[in-house]
Amino acid sequence: MTEAPTDSLAIEAHHLTRRFGAQLAVDGVDLAIPRARIHGFLGPNGSGKTTTIRMLCGLLTPTSGEARVLGLRVPAEAEKLRLLIGYMTQRFSLYDDLTIRENLDFVAEVHSLARDERRARIDELLAEYRLGPRAAQRAGTLSGGQRQRLALAASLVHRPQLLFLDEPTSAVDPQSRREFWESLFRLVDAGTTILVSTHYMDEAERCHGLSILHEGVLVAHGTPRELMAGIAATVVEIEADDVRGARAALDPLPEVLSVAQLGTRLHALLDRDAPEPEARLRHALDEAGVAARVELAHASLEDVFVAATQRRAS
């Protein structure tokens, strides 16, 4: 892989670290995110996704390390950066007691959009995010999906080059989620860079690039395809009538990283360096007297995630 020239990077971070008292929330994260791409932060709650995003927006001062966002140093040049970025917070941060149009008006005004431009831009956003018919409705009475579209529209009023989305789909049904992602791809086609945090695997798979965070540490990064191909584990599927018995036989084996049950099947991750994984498992199952079929399987993104976080724990 060749190193991309710096000016084509939207976000560049070196050893970004943030400490809250004794707790290390983000620990030495390096990032290089190209422009006009959707980049995902994948990680469980408390893995440092939000803290990292806040540092990149200039809302939090890094304890150490440095970052350049759209070529600007943060937090030193955060005020300048604010004109160029949009930030959709995890919690709905618009005004519940204002209508959709009033909320968008407010955001447009604080971004100093001229009156004519403001009206045109808001009408455009209302149409794009199917909020037009509800423009006079108060934000507090909207459904999860509508609120999310409003929040996205509000973060786009000033046509930012870079959009931060912090778990944007956590309160949204699958249908709305799919539509939401389609609108994100339209933005990327128009040249916007998007950084999105999520703990949904299906969302992570849609990203151009991914960073997997675990306990504040960047444990894996690459495209979803690269990550799945380069998984540091062997994936094995076991089909058995006595699923619980099979699981009891596999769990104690030292090379088994994790076992997850999917209906009547077990999905196991094994250390990649362990020799003859299938034979080892069959042997263990035979000894336990469990009849089972064992076969190798393709890694999913979830496997990548589990392997990356499990190895760190051990």
Partner 1 sequence: MRATLGRVLAIARKEVRQLLRDRLTFAMVFGIPVMQLLLFGYAINQDVRHLRAAVADQAGTQSARLLAADAEASQVVDIVARVDTAAELESLLRRGRVAVGILIPPDFEERAARGDRPAAQLLVDGSDPILVQAARGLLDLPLRDAERAVPHAEAPRAFEFRPFYNPERRSAVQIVPGLIGVILTMTMTLFTAVAIVRERERGNLELLITTPVRTPELMVGKILPYMAIGLVQVTLILIVGSFLFRVPIRGAVVDIYAAGFVFVIATLGLGLFISTLAQTQFQAFQLTFFSFLPQILLSGFMFPFDGMPRTAQLFAEVFPLTHFVRIIRGILLRGASLADVFPEIWPLVAFFAASMALSVARFRKRLD
The minimum distance between CB 96 and partner 1, in angstroms, equals 7
Determine the size of the site formed for partner 1 (CB under 8 A): 25
- CA separation for the pair 267, 199 (Å, rounded): 20
- CA separation for the pair 218, 83 (Å, rounded): 28
Nearest to 37 by CA among 213, 179, 180, 191: 191
Tokens of 206: 């849609």
| Binds partner 1 (CB under 8 A): choice among 4, 66, 71, 112 | 112
Nearer to partner 1, 196 or 285 (CB): 196
Is residue 58 involved in binding partner 1 (CB under 8 A)?
Answer: yes
- CA separation for the pair 90, 77 (Å, rounded): 24
Sheet with strand 64-69: strands edge to edge: 23-34, 9-20, 64-69, 72-74
Nearest to 204 by CA among 88, 304, 307, 313: 304
Nearer to partner 1, 89 or 310 (CB): 89
Tokens of 58: 């200039």
Running DSSP on this structure, what letter comes out for residue 5?
A: P
Nearer to partner 1, 77 or 237 (CB): 77
Nearer to partner 1, 87 or 305 (CB): 87
Nearer to partner 1, 79 or 251 (CB): 79
Containing H/E element for 38?
A: strand 38-42
What is the x/- site pattern for partner 1, positions 16-55, by CB under 8 A? --------------------------------------x-
The minimum distance between CB 76 and partner 1, in angstroms, equals 12
| Binds partner 1 (CB under 8 A): choice among 76, 110, 262, 291 | 110
Is residue 265 involved in binding partner 1 (CB under 8 A)?
Answer: no
Tokens of 276: 């003859």
The minimum distance between CB 13 and partner 1, in angstroms, equals 17
Nearer to partner 1, 19 or 208 (CB): 19
The minimum distance between CB 186 and partner 1, in angstroms, equals 23
What is the C-alpha end-to-end distance of the chain, expressed in Å?
30
Nearer to partner 1, 82 or 265 (CB): 82
167 Ramachandran zone, left/alpha/beta (phi>0; psi -120 to 50): left
Per CB under 8 A, contacts with partner 1 among 139-198 are 154
Nearer to partner 1, 100 or 269 (CB): 100
- CA separation for the pair 6, 119 (Å, rounded): 37
Running DSSP on this structure, what letter comes out for residue 298?
A: P
Sheet with strand 265-271: strands edge to edge: 256-262, 265-271, 233-240, 292-296
The minimum distance between CB 27 and partner 1, in angstroms, equals 17
What is the x/- site pattern for partner 1, positions 61-100, by CB under 8 A? x-------------x--xx--xx-x-x-x-xxxxxx----
Residues lying near partner 1 in the complex (CB under 8 A) = 54, 57-61, 75, 78-79, 82-83, 85, 87, 89, 91-96, 107, 110-112, 154
